[in-house]
Amino acid sequence: MHPIYKLLIIGALLMSSVLLPAQNLEDLKITATFEATPTAEVLSTIQATHPVAFYFRSEDLPSAPVSITFQETPLPEVMNRLLAPGGLEYLIYRDYGIVIFPANYLTANYTADFYQALDQQLSGGADPGNQDPDRTIGSLETMRPSGRARISGQILDNQTEEPIIGATLFFTDINAGTATDVDGNFQIEVPSGRHDLSIEYVGYQKIIESVAVLGDGELRVRLEKEAVNLEEVLVKAEALDVNVESTQIGVEQLDVKSINKLPSFLGEVDVVKSLLLQPGVSTIGEGAIGFNVRGGEVDQNLIMQDDGMLFSSSHALGFFSSFNTELISFVTLYKGNLPAQFGGRLASVLNVEMRDGSFRDYRLKGGVGLVSTKVSFEGPVVKEKSSFITGFRSSYSDWVLNFVKLPEIRRSSAKFYDLNFRYTHRLDEKNTLSLAAYSSHDRFTYNELFGFDYNTLMGQAIYKKIFSDDLFSKLSFTASRYESTQLDLDGADASELDNNITYYKIREQLTYTPSRELQWDAGISSILYQVEPGAISPLGNLSQVIPGELEKEQGLESAAFLNGNWTLSPAFSISGGLRFAAYQFLGPKTVFEYADPENPSGENVVTTTRYNNGKVIAAYTSLEPRLSMRYRLGPSASVKAGYSRTSQFINLIANTNTPTPNSLWQLSTDYIRPLRSHNFSVGYFKNFDNNNWETSLETYGRLIDDLFDYKDFADLTMNDQLETELLGGIGRAYGLEMSVRKREGIVNGSLSYTLSRTERQVEGINEGNWFPSNFDKPHDLSMVFNFQPNQRYTLTFNFIYGTGRPTTAPIGSYVEVNDLVVPIYSDRNQLRVPDYHRLDLAFTMGQSHKVNKKVKTSWTISLYNIYGRANAFSVFFTQRPFNTPRANKLSVLGNVFPALTFNFETI
């Protein structure tokens, strides 16, 4: 509808409702005579002499004068006789106004809901008995022909200006609601009119107000943190059933508050350790780098910090994760069923979004622990316009080493730090630019004999633009470099071995929301990888190492994607899309040619081929459908199903119990094919007690149609024929995940259990039979129990149980001529290490919840591994001449680990 007509209708009727006395226009009788009078003048005369007002565009009225007589003629008849010849129609609104339009305009474009809504709006405004609304959204001018209005906006923390993720907006009178997304944004479509709106989030004061929704508009709300007492904790507001309602299956979302509550190792709260409490997520033990999702290997997880990928997600060989929780906005883990926006890994996406600094106030926050300290500082650069946030973590564990009796340890050193910085500039209301930098460094040396040294440097620029209420854009550019060095400081092998990877990534994503039932996400991305697979140089006078360097490699991974979220009915919704990925392995490089390319070996090299810079050595494409469906079985239950095809063009080469910082990232080549998998999930979700209890039952399957494993005794270091050490195969993983979660209350927590298998079949290993993967854990259980009698004290327990991971055992031995006992090992992974279990406790006290207190402090005491279980990381076997053979277990942690952390925060 042309805006001027809206104005005619709305403005005129508003005016008429105020100025004219009440009377039924259809009963109004007109008596008047006009001779050769323009229509506009006829209308003006009637308006002047009768209680009616006309609104029209003069150019719509016929220019020819009319001669006409009315004698006690009803107004509808007057209008018909006057307007019909000119092809005009009219609208009688209530008792006072008539709006004139070209014929058929109104009926063709406006629904009954429009008039009903309009009626409600105007009557509400006209009735002096109605109270004024607390808030008015939009205007009648922006009302849609459907009579509905789309409200978009953001919920923020009033003090810090941080977006609040997962805050709920609920229109109680029409039983409609939504929740804020990762940026604190929301969008909802409701009927125009007066509504009762409730906005709430745990730990914040609830807002309940009356809103007049006139048309499309924005709503920006700041919530105040609340001073909570015991009674308030007990109040359980009705929460949204996000787990039941969402279309996507296999998603775990963590908020920072939950992460901070959990018991932590040496007092350092950790994102990855929190993920391990979720069903389908496991690890092979303490000290292992990374995590396994639904039977996927560690490198099959895409680790994202904003739009940048991290190749090293941990410090201190896996004991701490790379993420500084002080700077995290939210954490989402997609398990297997990835939306089309994500790709490049088989198993999962861990999406860690960092937050902006406060646009209003300066704020300092930190924690001091036994071996590490973290601090963050944020505030406005230009108030309400631009902000910064920076965070720093560092370890200082060397003093601990001096308490250790072993001299070798006293001569050792272990340090790490990481630094985050983010600057956000609101160019205007619709454009935002963020610049982010991340740097981390780890260094270990042992007994001045050897060590590891690894660094990550990453920079990102993210530009967000709002084109309209329907259309958003996010453009990002990332550049990152990961460097690792293995130091051997003594003996004939003394050397420095480097391998590095650099990538440049550009990504654009458009989000289009034409209606509340439909949302499209489309975009493109491209990543240029540059890998330096190895350079070695001797160290010291005794070194026999020959300096050398493997040729650099590069690859280009590009993708285009389209994903739609479509609510077909209140019960049924679909999230589906397509991702097209194209990968090219590029020169310059010299490639070995083998007599049998399917079974390359050092002995059957035929020749070598030289490829120049940029020349395509190998190319692969992958068309990846993604689909997730939800069907509601009632107000608190749903079933979901999902499928996704995924592929992976870069892999971690690590034939060890766990990847090392120096493990090589290897691009797919002409011999090392990309990994590909089909992922399936089906789940049932049911909530109880106003969504305070969440339960779910999910089953999943994954078929990997291209994977590789390692030959026995594979030599992976400084090997320019890596393909000769690998064997191709297929894999499968399947399982059942169950979880129960109580969200709030004095006692809350969760229980997760996963029953699963992960197997592979590789020609050349175990006679080509299926065998369990290194991280196959049939039973995996975790429990979290929170006791929070008030907001000052929190007591948390968590318990972990898992089947021991597979290992390979000797089944016999023989004695060599020189009396050396040589064990004979069974087929791969035929035995298991003993089962894993552990109980932890954390007690946080002194949390102040006085809103006006400027500095808040708290202490956290944690006990990790309370009953001192010496869980086996691995088992190995020793047999000496003439002695009994022995099985030994290696336990990384054999005792309870206490920790004390002091936390502070300025407001």
Partner 1 sequence: MQGSGNRGSWWILLLGALLLVAGCLSEIDLEVPEAADTSIAIRGRLNVGEMPRVSIRITDLAGFNASSIPQPVSGASVVLIDEFDRGVDVPMVRPGIYELDLSTGTSGVEVRPGRAYRLSVSTAAGENFVSDFETLYPAPEPAELRYISTRRDVLNEVNNIVNREFVRFLLTTPVVAAGSNDRSYLKWEFTGTYKFPESVVASPFPPGARTCYITERLQLEDVVTFDGSRIDGNVLRDFFILEEPFDYRFSNGFYLTVRQQSLSERAFRYWQEVGKVVDLSGNFFETPPGKVKGNFQNVDEPEKEVFGFFYAYSETIVRLYVDPGNEPPMPFCPLTTASISSVDTTCLNCLLRSGSTLIRPAFWEE
Q: Which residue, 390, 393, 392, 367, is CA-closest to 377?
A: 390
Residue type at position 293? V
* Residue span binding partner 1 (CB under 8 A) among the ranges 31-39, 581-589, 744-752, 809-817: 809-817
d(CA 725, CA 509): 40
* Residue span binding partner 1 (CB under 8 A) among the ranges 98-106, 640-648, 650-658, 700-708: 650-658
For tokens 């959204």, the residue is: 137
Q: Which of residues 409-448 bind partner 1 (CB under 8 A)?
A: 409-410, 412, 414, 444, 446-447
Number of residues that bind partner 1 (CB under 8 A): 91
Question: Is residue 603 a contact residue for partner 1 (CB under 8 A)?
Answer: no
Q: What is the DSSP string of 825-882?
A: E-STT-EEPPPEEEEEEEEEE-----TT-SEEEEEEEEEESTT-----SEEEEE--TT
d(CA 578, CA 563): 6
Q: Which of residues 686-705 bind partner 1 (CB under 8 A)?
A: none
d(CA 134, CA 150): 18
Find the shortest distance in angstroms from Cβ 804 to partner 1: 10
DSSP-derived 3-state class of residue 141: helix
Contact mark string toward partner 1, 559..578, x via CB under 8 A = --------------------
Cβ closer to partner 1: 637 or 716?
716
Find the shortest distance in angstroms from Cβ 808 to partner 1: 6
Q: Which of residues 40-99 bind partner 1 (CB under 8 A)?
A: none
Residue 613: exposure state from Cβ atoms within 10 A (0-12, 13-18, ≥19): exposed
Question: Is residue 208 a contact residue for partner 1 (CB under 8 A)?
Answer: no
Find the shortest distance in angstroms from Cβ 308 to partner 1: 27
Neighbours of 367 (CB within 10 A): 23
Q: Cβ(120)–Cβ(94) under 8 Å?
A: no
Kindly tell me which residue out of 230, 712, 779, 846 binds partner 1, with binding defined by CB under 8 A. Answer: 712
Tell me whether the omega of the peptide bond preceding residue 588 falls within 30 degrees of 0, making it cis: yes
Q: Which residue, 760, 906, 771, 762, is CA-closest to 827?
A: 771
Kindly tell me which residue out of 19, 64, 404, 595 binds partner 1, with binding defined by CB under 8 A. Answer: 404
Could you tell me which residues are beta bridge partners of residue 772?
Answer: 759
Find the shortest distance in angstroms from Cβ 869 to partner 1: 11
* Residue span binding partner 1 (CB under 8 A) among the ranges 27-35, 133-141, 611-619, 892-900: 892-900
Cβ closer to partner 1: 397 or 502?
397
Q: Which of residues 742-781 bind partner 1 (CB under 8 A)?
A: 774
Cβ closer to partner 1: 505 or 805?
805
Neighbours of 67 (CB within 10 A): 9
Find the shortest distance in angstroms from Cβ 769 to partner 1: 14
Find the shortest distance in angstroms from Cβ 493 to partner 1: 5
d(CA 552, CA 717): 15
d(CA 556, CA 481): 16
Contact mark string toward partner 1, 278..307, x via CB under 8 A = ---------xx-------------------
Give Dmax (Cα) for the chain.
131
Give the sign of the dihedral formed by CA 767, CA 768, CA 774, CA 777: negative
Q: Which residue, 48, 3, 18, 6, is CA-closest to 30?
A: 48
Kindly tell me which residue out of 128, 570, 816, 852 binds partner 1, with binding defined by CB under 8 A. Answer: 816
Kindly tell me which residue out of 657, 719, 761, 790 binds partner 1, with binding defined by CB under 8 A. Answer: 657
Q: Cβ(469)–Cβ(216) under 8 Å?
A: yes
Find the shortest distance in angstroms from Cβ 810 to partner 1: 6
Find the shortest distance in angstroms from Cβ 665 to partner 1: 17
Cβ closer to partner 1: 136 or 413?
413
Cβ closer to partner 1: 116 or 447?
447
* Residue span binding partner 1 (CB under 8 A) among the ranges 81-89, 161-169, 625-633, 652-660: 652-660
Neighbours of 889 (CB within 10 A): 14
Residue 119, φ and ψ in degrees, nearest 5:
-60, -45
CA separation, residue 305 to residues 350, 419, 432, 484, 619 (Å): 8, 13, 18, 20, 28
DSSP-derived 3-state class of residue 271: helix
CA separation, residue 522 to residues 247, 255, 509 (Å): 18, 27, 6
- Name the DSSP letter for residue 599: S
Find the shortest distance in angstroms from Cβ 284 to partner 1: 10
Find the shortest distance in angstroms from Cβ 450 to partner 1: 6
Find the shortest distance in angstroms from Cβ 823 to partner 1: 6
Cβ closer to partner 1: 6 or 889?
889
Find the shortest distance in angstroms from Cβ 283 to partner 1: 12
Q: Which of residues 822-881 bind partner 1 (CB under 8 A)?
A: 822-826, 828, 830-831, 834, 870, 872-878, 880-881
Q: Cβ(552)–Cβ(530) under 8 Å?
A: yes
d(CA 474, CA 430): 12
* Residue span binding partner 1 (CB under 8 A) among the ranges 129-137, 383-391, 497-505, 818-826: 818-826
Find the shortest distance in angstroms from Cβ 873 to partner 1: 7
Contact mark string toward partner 1, 251..270, x via CB under 8 A = ---------------x----
Q: Which residues contact 129 (CB under 8 A, 6 or more apart)?
A: none
Residue 304, φ and ψ in degrees, nearest 5:
-115, 130
Kindly tell me which residue out of 271, 281, 545, 839 binds partner 1, with binding defined by CB under 8 A. Answer: 545
Q: Which of residues 324-383 bind partner 1 (CB under 8 A)?
A: 371
Q: Which residues contact 832 (CB under 8 A, 6 or more apart)?
A: 803, 804, 805, 806, 807
Kindly tell me which residue out of 22, 128, 129, 405 binds partner 1, with binding defined by CB under 8 A. Answer: 405
Q: Which strand (E) or helix (H) includes residue 19?
A: helix 3-19
Find the shortest distance in angstroms from Cβ 655 to partner 1: 5
Question: Is residue 399 a contact residue for partner 1 (CB under 8 A)?
Answer: no
Kindly tell me which residue out of 18, 382, 542, 845 binds partner 1, with binding defined by CB under 8 A. Answer: 542
* Residue span binding partner 1 (CB under 8 A) among the ranges 36-44, 330-338, 630-638, 886-894: 886-894
* Residue span binding partner 1 (CB under 8 A) among the ranges 64-72, 630-638, 814-822, 837-845: 814-822
Give the sign of the dihedral formed by CA 337, CA 340, CA 345, CA 346: positive
Question: Is residue 817 a contact residue for partner 1 (CB under 8 A)?
Answer: yes
Cβ closer to partner 1: 320 or 700?
320
Q: Which of residues 472-511 bind partner 1 (CB under 8 A)?
A: 488, 490-493
d(CA 436, CA 486): 29
Find the shortest distance in angstroms from Cβ 846 to partner 1: 25
Find the shortest distance in angstroms from Cβ 833 to partner 1: 9
Find the shortest distance in angstroms from Cβ 710 to partner 1: 8
First to last CA, the chain: 49
Kindly tell me which residue out of 892, 902, 904, 906 binds partner 1, with binding defined by CB under 8 A. Answer: 892
Radius of gyration of the chain (CA): 34
Find the shortest distance in angstroms from Cβ 863 to partner 1: 13
* Residue span binding partner 1 (CB under 8 A) among the ranges 110-118, 455-463, 670-678, 820-828: 820-828
Question: Is residue 895 a contact residue for partner 1 (CB under 8 A)?
Answer: yes
Q: What is the DSSP string of 406-464?
A: -HHHHT-EEEEEEEEEEEEEEEETTEEEEEEEEEEEEEEEETTTEEEEEEEEEEEEEEE
